[in-house]
Amino acid sequence: MTLTETIRIERTPHSRLAETDFQNLEFGKYISDHMAISDFKSGSWGPLSIMPFGELRMTPAILALHYGQAIFEGMKAFRTVDGRVNIFRPKKHHERINKSLERMCMPALPWDLFIQSLRTLIDLDREWVPKTEGSSLYIRPLVFASESRLGVKVSEQYKYVLMTSPVGPYYNKPFRLKVEDHYVRTAEGGPGYAKCAGNYGGAFYPTQVAKEEGFDQVLWTDSKEHKYIDEVGMMNVMFVMDGKLVTPQLYTAILDGVTRDSILTVAREMGLQTEEKRISVEELEEGFRSGKLTEAFGCGTAAVVAPITGIRIHDNDYKLGTPGPESIQGRIKQKLLNIRTGAENDVHHWNYLI
């Protein structure tokens, strides 16, 4: 018998759907009615359970709380034009989950367990998938060390939790950045490419400092020289220079974004030139001064495309116009939305319909 042949389902006695304001969805504010759970013990993952969303029983001695063995992923499901529900690129997200797990010395999550947890949970809570344009169901898989024991060691027990949350458009207003030339998010050779909890906790303080200075986010640079652009906030970053879509090339300090990969793919199909390379702060500043840099935006699962209209570089403020629907980022965002909602043909088989 496989892990998913028998899925125990306990339905909530009280749905929170009626208490949810779907016209004013703040990111992460509402959690759907149910969650999926599986435990790793004695060298293997146990049966999958679906239960009402709520508290988990654990002790304060679990290893994740002390030594940081915790990873997560961010995905989305969309309403299609014919009313079905589509999970976008689950295979690519599963691959990245297992890369993160490997980096943190955690056991791989089997594909059948992962896809059945997605399919069963989202099908059960399909009424939580928003119907309004620009909205979606955010999907959060989480794996953490659950062994209760003090002492620095690799855990022998883990818990997989899957939860979902209806969300509206994210970062729907342009934002302003500060090039970070002092603090570091992660270093080459470190876990920057993994979606582990510590990467985010370590980024809070520099981001808070930037916000106190009037910026929305930081534009991270490399840890050695602060010479090259890495990421914006917790997203990948892209620039339009001389009509070409340019983004920092991947290395161990940069997350291999699923949205990044999707954007590069559809951009090429639209006839745009793309380039992945090391982008220096100096090149970015020269692009502003010469007028060659015409667009900048962050990209990630939560935001999809987040327009950037201002960047401070070495105490100099540079501005970009607010992008419209005919901008490169606007057209790419619309094409991605069309694929996700079934308005355009999914030639890459990215959609998983339930």
- Look over the chain and give the mean of its residue pLDDT values, rounded to a whole number: 94
- What per-residue confidence (pLDDT) applies to 169? 77
| Residue bearing tokens 């990044």 | 260
Confidence of residue 303 (pLDDT cuts 50, 70, 90): confident
Q: What is the pLDDT of residues 260-292, one digit of tens each?
A: 999 999 999 999 999 999 999 999 999 999 999
Percentage of the residues of the chain whose pLDDT score is greater than 90: 88
Candidates 306, 311, 180, 301; CA nearest to 238 is 306
Confidence of residue 1 (pLDDT cuts 50, 70, 90): very low
Residue 166, C-beta contacts closer than 8 angstroms, at least 6 positions apart? 20, 22, 25, 30, 32, 128, 129, 130, 135, 136, 137, 138
Residue 18, C-beta contacts closer than 8 angstroms, at least 6 positions apart? none
**Overall average pLDDT of the 189-209 stretch:** 92
Looking only at the bridges linking them, the beta strands covering 217-221 and 49-52 are unpaired
Tokens of 180: 């970070």
- What per-residue confidence (pLDDT) applies to 205? 95
- What per-residue confidence (pLDDT) applies to 74? 95
Rounded to two decimals, what is the model's pTM?
A: 0.93
Q: What is the pLDDT of residues 112-168, one digit of tens each?
A: 999 999 999 999 999 999 998 889 999 999 999 999 999 999 999 999 999 999 998
Candidates 75, 70, 108, 107; CA nearest to 91 is 75
Q: What is the pLDDT of residues 167-193, one digit of tens each?
A: 987 656 788 999 999 999 988 999 989
- Per-residue pLDDT for 2 more than 60? no
Distance CA 223, CA 230 (A): 9
How many CA atoms lie less than 13 Å away from 219 in the CB half-sphere? 28
Tokens of 339: 């694929």
Candidates 205, 198, 132; CA nearest to 167 is 132
Assigned CATH for 175-340 = 3.20.10.10
Q: Would you list the domain boundaries of the chain?
A: 8-167, 175-340
- From 3.90.1150.10, 3.40.50.2300, 3.30.470.10, 3.40.50.300, which CATH number describes the 8-167 domain? 3.30.470.10
Looking only at the bridges linking them, the beta strands covering 175-179 and 236-241 are unpaired
How many CA atoms lie less than 13 Å away from 188 in the CB half-sphere? 12
- What per-residue confidence (pLDDT) applies to 5? 60
- Per-residue pLDDT for 233 more than 60? yes
